[in-house]
Amino acid sequence: MKSIFLCNNPDAVKKVFSSETVNILKEKAGLSSDCFTENDLRVSPDKFKDTRYIFSTWGMPELTKEQIEKYFPSLECIFYGAGSVQSFARPFLNCSIKVFSSWAANAIPVAEYTSAQIILANKGFYRLSRELKEKDYNDVKVSAKDFPGNYESALGIIGAGMIGKKVIKMLKNVNIRIYVFDPFLPDDKVKELNVTKTTLEEIFSRCDVISNHLADNSDTKEMLNYNLFSKMKPNSTFINTGRGVQVAEKDLIRVLTERPDITAILDVTKPEPPEKTSPLYTLDNCILTPHIAGSSSNELRRMGDYMKDEFLLYTENKPTHYEVTLKMLETMA
């Protein structure tokens, strides 16, 4: 088989790769209609010796270098119709197999979600709508002055990767002053984005809204802690659509308890979902959403389309857009 679907979650494959995309890949890539799992590799290890291209999404098996060499001696590329490839990519890359990812497609809805939350947070939407259930309308309306609105407010972006950059660009016409923490962001890109590069401490102490988009690696684990959260401005908001592991959850809960004026909007947590006894469910100033910022429903098909397009570019010897390298994994989410 020249091309296969390899995924431990066949239902995800059906959602990401539309029938139209599958038909094109059948014609152009010799794609098999079946979706194979890691168990299929073990049962029939010789079945895939001629496979050159793998298409996958959430549920891609994590294989060792030895397994890859055993099952896929002819493999050239993986086209991954989802975002982060951190869990499986390294052994394939170490076997000189190219990995392409729809991280850019998945970044679009995350950036849309984040931008919408930022605009609402600057208007005091979360606290004011909550207070209207308990307080006099006119008193709550007076409280709106506690929030800056969007014009010339201060936004902190933690991590200016694909998603962080998209948020910045989406808000370019909103006249928000944007501060960025990202040690890997070069000065020419800082100028191009028209942002101010600064420290984490300054972002937490001066920004009205802070949005996390840190890369997911060992250096960023629980990087956002009490020392930073305790510096947040009055009535400010913290948004996390990055990774839950980057937040010291007990520290955030402590600050949210001490500071009812601030708000946390958490689309990701660690663990996910939070433990049933977690105060995150009951704190009035914590807004939880069930990891909905990324691609869902119709948006999933965008990721399959990106990988279909990458495959066509690759096989036509044209420049591709979304290849992942070992170097990129050092800073990618």
What does the pLDDT look like over 83-114, one tens digit per residue? 889 999 999 999 999 999 998 998 899 999 99
Instruction: Look at residues 99, 86, 88, 215 and name the one whose alpha carbon lies nearest to residue 163.
Output: 215
Question: CB-based contacts of 109: which residues, under 8 Å, 6+ apart?
Answer: 293, 294, 295, 296, 299
215 Cβ contact list (under 8 Å, min separation 6): 159, 161, 330, 331, 332, 333
- Give the Cβ contact number of residue 111 at 10 Å: 24
**Reported confidence tier of residue 219, pLDDT bands at 50, 70, 90:** confident
On whether both 70 and 176 belong to a single domain, the answer is no
Do both 116 and 256 map to the same domain?
Answer: yes
Domain limits for position 19: 3-105+297-329
pLDDT computed for residue 215 by the predictor: 82
pLDDT of residue 152: 97
Q: How many domains does the chain have?
A: 2
pLDDT for position 29? 97
Q: Judge if 100 and 122 occupy the same domain.
A: no
As a whole number of angstroms, the distance between CA 268 and CA 198 comes to 25
Q: How confident is the model at residue 190 (pLDDT cuts 50, 70, 90)?
A: very high
Per-residue pLDDT tens digits for 293-320: 999 999 999 999 999 999 999 999 999 9
Distance CA 267, CA 270 (A): 11
Pair (117, 187) in one structural domain: yes
Q: Are residues 43 and 119 in the same domain?
A: no
Q: Is the pLDDT of residue 217 over 90?
A: no
Q: Please, how many CA atoms are within 13 Å of residue 56, restricted to the half-sphere of its CB? A: 25
* Domain co-membership, 128 together with 263: yes
CB 191 within 8 A of CB 168: no
The letter for the amino acid at 162 is M
Residues 255 and 138 in one domain: yes
Residue 249 sits in the same domain as residue 315: no
Are 168 and 95 members of one domain?
A: no
User: In whole angstroms, what is the distance from residue 237 CA to residue 324 CA?
Assistant: 33
Contact (CB, 8 A) for 14 and 63: no
Name the average pLDDT for the chain: 96
Amino acid residing at 276: K
The DSSP 8-state label assigned to residue 270 in this structure reads: S
- Shared domain for 272 and 306, answered yes or no, is no
Average pLDDT over residues 225-234: 98
Q: Are residues 260 and 146 in the same domain?
A: yes
pLDDT tens track for 109-164? 999 999 999 999 999 999 999 999 999 999 999 999 999 999 999 999 999 988 99
Closest to 38 measured CA to CA, from 7, 12, 64, 14: 7
Give residue 106's pLDDT: 86
CATH of the domain at 28: 3.40.50.720
- Among 57, 48, 52, smallest CA distance to 13 is for 57
Q: Which two tokens stand for residue 73?
A: 């001696």
Query: Are residues 134 and 278 located together in one domain of the fold?
Result: yes
* Rg, the chain, Cα only: 22
Structure tokens at 71: 């099952």
Q: Which of 62, 161, 188 is nearest to 103 (CA)?
A: 161
Question: pLDDT at position 223, please?
Answer: 96
Its pTM stands at 0.84
